[in-house]
Every structure is written in structure tokens, then in C-alpha cells.
């Protein structure tokens, strides 16, 4: 078998696995994290839930949330405005720089997120009971590996974006006559 056809075969095999993962993960998430009936966050759009989840750890600046989600700062501001209107988050001064505002969960927002997390943990515990301990350990190990793979791809993406931006700067400097021979 030629090298090219081996690569195509591997590519096809990986694609089939990727399609399976793409199909399974949403089903798994829907099953694991089926909304609780009395969850006040149940009707929030995904973007707002993602911001709440990021802030559940600690307050962050608009730009930190923007970077973590891969969306513009103005989009974060719009989401934050809606969450602030719902009394789920507030803007507070940075302890380091008073000019910078951080987004922080309110007491109510923190309460909602803790209840949501506890429900999800309890639901996951119920599901994990059906797996032998060895399978539970394997699952955690595979999820760790998957997260490591995600981090590597994100790093590659950042390098590609940077290379593209540097290439654009180079083209612009050549076009403007700033390049030196």
C-alpha cells in the first residue's frame, strides 16, 4: 500500500472516530446534565451559561472571558449586560487597577451555580454507579487525554493565527515600502 493511500485510510478512520465523538458527546451531555425542573438558569442561552461557568471559579476581566471563550470583548459586554440585568453577575473594580472592571457572580448567581453544580454531580454519581471502578478510572484517564489533545490543538490554532497576522504585517510593510532588502 502506498504512503498516500495509507494516510487516506488513516484519515478516513480518524474521521469516522471523530464523527462518532461528535455524535456521542452532545447526547452524553444532554443525558448527564438534563436540566433540573426548578433550575432558574434553565432558559438561559448557552453563551450566558458559558460566561457564568467561567466566572464560577473567580472574577475575571472582560478580556479574560473574551479570550477563554474566543469571542470579542464587545460580545462579552453584551452577555454581561444581560446577566447583570438578571442579577446573576456584577461589575467590580480590579484589586490591582481601579480602571479595570471585573465580572463577578453575585450572591444569587453563585447560589444558582452551586445548586446547578451539585445537581450535576449527584446525577453523574448516579450514572457512574453503573460502571465498575476500573471503567470509571479509565473514563477519567481518557477524558484527561482528550483535554490534553484539545490544549495542543488550541496552541496550534494560536500559532497559526499569529503566523497569519505576522504574514499580513509583512505583506503590509512590503506594500507600504517599509521592507528592507
Measure Cα distances from 151 to 71, 147, 154 in Å: 18, 6, 5
Question: What's the pLDDT tens digit per position in 118-130?
Answer: 999 999 999 999 9
pLDDT score, position 38: 86
The whole model's pTM is what?
0.75
- Residues in the chain, pLDDT under 70: 1-9, 168-181
Which pLDDT value is given to residue 165?
72
Taking only the tens place, the pLDDT of each residue in 5-40 is 666 667 888 999 999 999 999 999 988 888 888 889
Q: Which residues of 16-46 are buried (b: 16+ CB within 10 A; e: fewer)?
A: eeeeeeeeeeeeeeeeeeeebeeeebeebee
Helix 46-57 vs helix 107-128: crossing angle, to nearest 10: 100
- Class of the 33-130 domain? mainly alpha
Sequence ranges of the domains in the chain? 33-130, 132-181
Please tell me the predicted confidence (pLDDT) of residue 9: 60
Amino acid at each position: 500500500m502506498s504512503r498516500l493511500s495509507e494516510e487516506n485510510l488513516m484519515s478516513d478512520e480518524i474521521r469516522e472516530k471523530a464523527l462518532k465523538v461528535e455524535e456521542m458527546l452532545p447526547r452524553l451531555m444532554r443525558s448527564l446534565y438534563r436540566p433540573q425542573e426548578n433550575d432558574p438558569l434553565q432558559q438561559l442561552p448557552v453563551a450566558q451559561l458559558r460566561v457564568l461557568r467561567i466566572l464560577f471559579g473567580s472574577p475575571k476581566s472582560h478580556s479574560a472571558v473574551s479570550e477563554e471563550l474566543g469571542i470579542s470583548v464587545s460580545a462579552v459586554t453584551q452577555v454581561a449586560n444581560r446577566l447583570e440585568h438578571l442579577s446573576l453577575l456584577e461589575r467590580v473594580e480590579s484589586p490591582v487597577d481601579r480602571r479595570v472592571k471585573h465580572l463577578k457572580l453575585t450572591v444569587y448567581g453563585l447560589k444558582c451555580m452551586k445548586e446547578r453544580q451539585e445537581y450535576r454531580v449527584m446525577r453523574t454519581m448516579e450514572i457512574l454507579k453503573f460502571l465498575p471502578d476500573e471503567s470509571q478510572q479509565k473514563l477519567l484517564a481518557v477524558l484527561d487525554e482528550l483535554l490534553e489533545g484539545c490544549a495542543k490543538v488550541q496552541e496550534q490554532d494560536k500559532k497559526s493565527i499569529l503566523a497569519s497576522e505576522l504574514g499580513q504585517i509583512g505583506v503590509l510593510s512590503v506594500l507600504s515600502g517599509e521592507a528592507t532588502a
